[in-house]
Chains A and B, each alone.
Chain A
Amino acid sequence: QMALKKMDSKTPSKKRTSSSRHWQSPPVVVIFKDMESFITKVLQDFIVISSQHIRELPLVLIFGIATSPMIIHSLLPHSVSSLLCIELFQSLSCKEHLSTVIDKLLLTAQFPFKLGEKVLQVLINIFLYHDFSVQNFIKGFQLCIVEHFYSQPLSVLCCQLVDAKKRVNSLSHDQCENIRRLPSFRRYVESQPSQKQIALLTADNFLKEIIQKLLEDLHVYHENYVSVLRCLHVFTSSLPKYPLGKQIRELYCACLENRVWETEEYESSLQLARMLNKSDLVTMLQQCVEIFVSSSGKEFDKTVEKLKEFLTQFQKLEAEAFQERDVSVSSQKELQKKTDLYHLQKTLLELKESRRSKKLTKFEKLRFEVVDYIDSLVRNYLVPADHKTLHEIVYFNTASVLRGHLNAAPRIALHTALNNPYCYLKNQALKSDGGSISNKAPDICIVYKLHLECGRLINLVDWLEAFSTVVMAVEGPNADAASSDQVDDIIQYPFSFLSTVSELELLGFIKPSKQKTDHVARLTWGGC
Chain B
Amino acid sequence: MSRPERRGSGALEVKFVPDEEVLKHIADDAGIKVRKDKTQLTVSVKRFVKKLENISDNEAQEMLEEKNYVAALGICAQDPVENGSSVSGSEVYSFQTPKRSSKMAELASELAQTPGQSVAPDHSECPENTAKTPQSSKRSSSNKVQQRSKKKEFVSTTPYRLRKRLAAPDPYLESESEYSASCSEEEDEEDQKEVSTVLAGQKTPAKTKAASTPPPRNTLAKKTKEDKMSNLVEEYFEAHSSSKVLTSDRTLQKLRKRRLNQQTLHDLLKKAPLAYAAEIKELNQQHESLFSKWMLQLHLGFNIVLYGLGSKRDLLEKFRTSVLQSSVHLVVNGYFPSITVRSILNSITEEVLDHIGTFRSPLDQLEFIIKRFKEDSSLELYVLIHNLDSQMLRGERSQQILAQLSSLPRIYLIASIDHINAPLMWDQAKLSLYNWLWYETTTFSPYVEETSYENSLLVQQSGSLALSSLTHVLRSLTLNARGIFRLLAQYQLENKDNPSYPGLSFQDFYQQCREAFLVNSDLTLRAQLTEFRDHKLIRTKRGADGVEYLLIPVDDSTLTDFLEKEDEDV
Report if A and B associate in a common complex: yes
Instruction: Please judge, given known A-B contacts A150-B296, A503-B447, whether A133 and B432 are in contact too, CB under 8 Å.
Output: yes
Q: Does B491 contact A (CB under 8 A)?
A: no
Contact B247 A422 (CB under 8 A): no
B:157-177 near A, CB below 8 Å: 157, 159-161, 164
Contact A414 B420 (CB under 8 A): yes
Q: Does A338 contact B (CB under 8 A)?
A: no
Contact A503 B451 (CB under 8 A): yes
Contact B245 A515 (CB under 8 A): yes
Contact B74 A129 (CB under 8 A): yes
**Among the listed B94, B307, B417, which residue makes an inter-chain contact with A526, where contact means beta carbons less than 8 Å apart?**
B94
The secondary-structure label for the interface of chain A is: helix
Instruction: Please judge, given known A-B contacts A403-B75, A456-B239, A518-B252, whether A253 and B96 are in contact too, CB under 8 Å.
Output: no
Name the distance in Å between B188's Cβ and chain A's nearest Cβ: 13
Contact A443 B247 (CB under 8 A): no
**Among the listed A253, A423, A480, A518, which residue makes an inter-chain contact with B30, where contact means beta carbons less than 8 Å apart?**
A253
Name the distance in Å between A136's Cβ and chain B's nearest Cβ: 7
B:132-150 near A, CB below 8 Å: 132-135, 149
**Among the listed B30, B79, B308, B438, which residue makes an inter-chain contact with A400, where contact means beta carbons less than 8 Å apart?**
B79
Contact B119 A442 (CB under 8 A): no
Contact B78 A424 (CB under 8 A): no
Chain B residue at minimal CB-CB distance from A130: B74
Q: Mark A376-415, 1 if CB is under 8 A from B, else 0.
A: 0000000000000000000000111101111111111111
Contact B10 A416 (CB under 8 A): yes
- For chain B, which range describes its interface: under 10, 10 to 19, 20 to 34, or 35 or more residues? 35 or more
**Among the listed B1, B12, B101, B269, which residue makes an inter-chain contact with A419, where contact means beta carbons less than 8 Å apart?**
B12
Q: Does A457 contact B (CB under 8 A)?
A: yes
Q: Does B289 contact A (CB under 8 A)?
A: no
Chain B residue at minimal CB-CB distance from A517: B251
Q: Mark B246-260, 1 if CB is under 8 A from A, else 0.
A: 111111111110001
Name the distance in Å between A251's Cβ and chain B's nearest Cβ: 9
Q: Does A499 contact B (CB under 8 A)?
A: yes
Contact B269 A499 (CB under 8 A): yes
Chain B residue at minimal CB-CB distance from A496: B272
Chain B residues in 8 Å Cβ range of A411:
92-93, 420
CA distance A122 to B78 in the complex (A): 7
Contact B78 A403 (CB under 8 A): yes
Contact A409 B85 (CB under 8 A): yes
Instruction: Please judge, given known A-B contacts A416-B11, A424-B442, A455-B99, whether A473 and B117 are in contact too, CB under 8 Å.
Output: yes
**Among the listed B6, B108, B260, B435, which residue makes an inter-chain contact with A424, where contact means beta carbons less than 8 Å apart?**
B6
Chain B residues in 8 Å Cβ range of A427:
276, 279
Contact A453 B114 (CB under 8 A): no
Chain B residues in 8 Å Cβ range of A486:
132
Q: Does A10 contact B (CB under 8 A)?
A: no
Chain A residue at minimal CB-CB distance from B77: A121
Quick check: which of B37-45, B206-214, B453-461, B472-480 contacts chain A, the rest being far away?
A: B453-461
Chain B residues in 8 Å Cβ range of A410:
307-308, 417, 420, 422-423, 438, 440
Contact A501 B457 (CB under 8 A): yes
CA distance A466 to B109 in the complex (A): 7
Contact A526 B154 (CB under 8 A): no
CA distance A300 to B431 in the complex (A): 46
Contact B75 A404 (CB under 8 A): no
Chain B residues in 8 Å Cβ range of A446:
111
Contact B300 A146 (CB under 8 A): yes
Name the distance in Å between B166's Cβ and chain A's nearest Cβ: 14
Instruction: Please judge, given known A-B contacts A143-B437, A413-B440, A528-B97, whether A462 and B135 are in contact too, CB under 8 Å.
Output: yes
Q: Mark A118-157, 1 if CB is under 8 A from B, else 0.
A: 1111101100110101011001001100100010000000
Q: Which of B89, B95, B418, B421 has the most CB of A within 10 A?
A: B95
A:240-270 near B, CB below 8 Å: 242, 244-245, 250, 253-254, 257
Chain B residues in 8 Å Cβ range of A491:
256
Q: Does B499 contact A (CB under 8 A)?
A: no
Q: Does A444 contact B (CB under 8 A)?
A: yes
CA distance A421 to B12 in the complex (A): 10
Q: Mark A193-225, 1 if CB is under 8 A from B, else 0.
A: 000000000000000000000000000000000
Instruction: Please judge, given known A-B contacts A146-B300, A416-B10, A436-B153, whether A470 and B112 are in contact too, CB under 8 Å.
Output: yes
Contact B444 A425 (CB under 8 A): yes
CA distance A121 to B75 in the complex (A): 9
Name the distance in Å between B252's Cβ and chain A's nearest Cβ: 5
CA distance A136 to B249 in the complex (A): 52
**Among the listed A435, A461, A524, A525, which residue makes an inter-chain contact with B250, where contact means beta carbons less than 8 Å apart?**
A461
Q: Mark B2-38, 1 if CB is under 8 A from A, else 0.
A: 0010110011110000000000000100111000000
Quick check: which of A77-85, A160-168, A504-512 contacts chain B, the rest being far away?
A: A504-512
Name the distance in Å between A268's Cβ and chain B's nearest Cβ: 13
Q: Mark B524-567, 1 if CB is under 8 A from A, else 0.
A: 00000000000000000000000000000000000000000000
Name the distance in Å between B528's Cβ and chain A's nearest Cβ: 33
Q: Does A450 contact B (CB under 8 A)?
A: yes
**Among the listed A477, A483, A516, A519, which residue makes an inter-chain contact with B132, where contact means beta carbons less than 8 Å apart?**
A483
Q: Mark A425-445, 1 if CB is under 8 A from B, else 0.
A: 111011000111111101110
Instruction: Please judge, given known A-B contacts A122-B77, A415-B88, whether A461 and B251 are in contact too, CB under 8 Å.
Output: yes
Contact A129 B300 (CB under 8 A): no
Q: Mark B302-338, 1 if CB is under 8 A from A, else 0.
A: 1000011110000000000000000000000001000
Instruction: Please judge, given known A-B contacts A146-B296, A527-B164, A527-B182, whether A420 and B12 are in contact too, CB under 8 Å.
Output: yes
B:61-83 near A, CB below 8 Å: 73-79, 81-82
Contact B442 A469 (CB under 8 A): no
CA distance A399 to B431 in the complex (A): 21
Q: Does A44 contact B (CB under 8 A)?
A: no
Chain A residues in 8 Å Cβ range of B253:
517-518
Name the distance in Å between B110's Cβ and chain A's nearest Cβ: 8
**Among the listed B31, B154, B260, which residue makes an inter-chain contact with A253, where contact means beta carbons less than 8 Å apart?**
B31
Contact A143 B302 (CB under 8 A): yes
A:474-524 near B, CB below 8 Å: 474, 476-477, 480, 483, 486-487, 489-491, 494-499, 501-503, 505-509, 512, 515-520, 522, 524
Chain B residue at minimal CB-CB distance from A405: B437
Contact B109 A469 (CB under 8 A): yes
Contact A527 B96 (CB under 8 A): yes
Contact B10 A131 (CB under 8 A): no
Q: Does B191 contact A (CB under 8 A)?
A: no
Contact B248 A413 (CB under 8 A): no
CA distance A466 to B110 in the complex (A): 10
Chain B residues in 8 Å Cβ range of A119:
77
Write the residues of chain B forming the contact surface with A, with a CB cutoff of 8 angstroms: 1, 4, 6-7, 10-13, 27, 30-32, 73-79, 81-82, 84-85, 88-89, 91-99, 101, 103-109, 111-114, 116-119, 125, 128-129, 132-135, 149, 153-154, 156-157, 159-161, 164, 182, 232, 235-236, 238-240, 243, 245-256, 260, 265, 268-269, 272, 275-276, 279-280, 282-283, 293, 296-297, 300, 302, 307-310, 335, 417-423, 428, 431-432, 435, 437-440, 442, 444, 446-448, 450-451, 454-459
Given A416-B11, A453-B103, 7 more A-B residue pairs with CB atoms under 8 Å apart are A403-B78, A436-B153, A460-B457, A466-B108, A477-B119, A490-B255, A498-B459
What are 9 A-B pairs at a CB distance below 8 A? A122-B78, A412-B88, A429-B116, A439-B114, A469-B105, A476-B119, A498-B458, A498-B459, A526-B159
Among all A-B residue pairs, the 7 with the closest Cβ atoms: A473-B112, A528-B239, A121-B77, A408-B438, A466-B108, A423-B10, A417-B309
